[in-house]
Amino acid sequence: MTCVAELHRPDRGPAAGTELTPRAEQTRAAIIEAALRLFREAGYEATTMRAIAREAGVSTGNAYYYFGSKEELIREFYARNDAEHAAACRPLLDRETRFAPRLRGTLRALIDVINPYHAFAAKFFKHAAEPSNPLSPFSKESSPSRDAEIGLFREVVDGSADRIDNELRAQLPELLWLYSLGIVLYWVHDTSPGCAKTYRLIDRTVPLVDRLVSLSRLRIMRATLAEVISIIHEMRS
């Protein structure tokens, strides 16, 4: 059911690229923090824009001025996670040049960043798992977050001193992003203390990925690698 406040809200927030005043920035930040707090405490489905506005201490119309829906707030959540993930990886990526430790550290940092939201992840994930849902990691709406994460894995690959087949190197960042989605899916269902099994899964599978990447340089693997890349191109189209 459409909220009355949504029907009568003022024009949506400032145009893209417009610099917000300090007060507007503060209001926007308060709405984001309130939304994330309620998502953690009450779950995604149970949290309404009206409740978010009340928690943030603003009117419902004001909340809609900055964010047109809960989906937009989730995309802000994605953006924050992406920024935190990149920042958490920076010390490792600046000093480490071996591929396996770079990948392992990047994946473990991802789980570190999202772990505080584990309690509501399962309920939220059913929306993200729907192919037509804008919250899906494969949706057009999620492309900024997807591009940011693929870009981070590109940095993992490009900063590695390990020799990697040139054709595979071009495709590897996206493949690693898909691999990370599998890790996140496992994390969603991980009930071990502190999600210890997810970290263990990372530690056990990264050496396998590293081995496969290393084998890609062998002439005997060229035909198999070409077939894998062909499949990737076909699935994209």
Per-residue pLDDT averaged across 189-217, rounded? Answer: 93
Q: Which residues contact 161 (CB under 8 A, 6 or more apart)?
A: 97, 98, 99
Q: Are residues 106 and 22 part of one domain? A: no
Number of Cβ within 10 Å of residue 193's Cβ equals 7
Q: Residue 4: pLDDT above 70?
A: no
Contact 174, 150 (CB under 8 A): yes
Q: What is the CATH number of the domain that holds 114?
A: 1.10.357.10
**Domain span at residue 13?**
4-68
188 and 228, same domain (yes or no): yes
Residue-level pLDDT at 220 = 66
pLDDT reading at 3 higher than 50: no
Computed over its alpha carbons, how large is the radius of gyration of the chain? Answer: 20
User: Over pLDDT 70: what percentage of the chain?
Assistant: 87
> Are 63 and 91 in the same domain?
no
More confident residue, 201 or 171: 201
Does residue 109 sit in the same domain as residue 96?
A: yes
- Domain of 8, CATH number, reads 1.10.10.60
Do 79 and 64 share a domain, yes or no? no
pLDDT band at 237 (very low <50, low <70, confident <90, very high): low
Confidence of residue 8 (pLDDT cuts 50, 70, 90): very low
Mean pLDDT of 171-180: 93
pLDDT band, very low/low/confident/very high, at 2 (cuts 50, 70, 90): very low
pLDDT tens per residue across span 34-64: 998 888 788 788 889 999 999 999 999 999 9
Q: How many domains does the chain have?
A: 2
Instruction: Check whether residue 101 and residue 34 sit in a common domain.
Output: no
Tell me which of 68, 98, 121 is where a domain ends: 68
The answer on 92 and 157 residing in a single domain is: yes
What is the separation, in whole angstroms, between the first and last Cα of the chain?
Answer: 37
The answer on pLDDT for 221 being more than 90 is no
CA distances from 138 to 5, 177, 232 (A): 30, 11, 15
Mean of pLDDT values over 89-96: 96
pLDDT band, residue 233 (cuts 50/70/90): low
The answer to whether 56 and 63 have CB atoms below 8 angstroms apart is yes
pTM value?
A: 0.81
Are 36 and 148 found together in one domain? no
Domain boundary (53, 68, 83) is at: 68
CA geometry: angle 129, 133, 135, nearest 5 deg: 75
Find the mean pLDDT for residues 119-128. Answer: 76
80 and 52 fall within a common domain:
no
Query: Given pLDDT bands bounded at 50, 70 and 90, which one contains residue 218?
Result: low
Tell the residue number behind the tokens 């392992």, with chain if given: 104
The answer to whether residues 195 and 81 belong to one domain is yes
Q: How many CA atoms lie within 13 A of 75 on its CB side?
A: 20
Are the CB atoms for 93 and 37 separated by under 8 Å? no
Looking at the fold, whether 90 and 119 belong to one and the same domain comes out as yes
| Amino acid letter, 4 | V
Handedness of CA 134, 81, 181, 175 (dihedral sign): positive
% the chain with pLDDT above 90: 52
- Domain stop point among 17, 34, 68: 68
pLDDT value of position 203: 98
Residues 55 and 104 in one domain: no
Please, what is the average pLDDT of the chain? 85
- Packing angle of the helix pair 118-128, 166-188 (nearest 10 deg): 120
In the predicted structure, residue 10 carries a pLDDT above the cut 80:
no
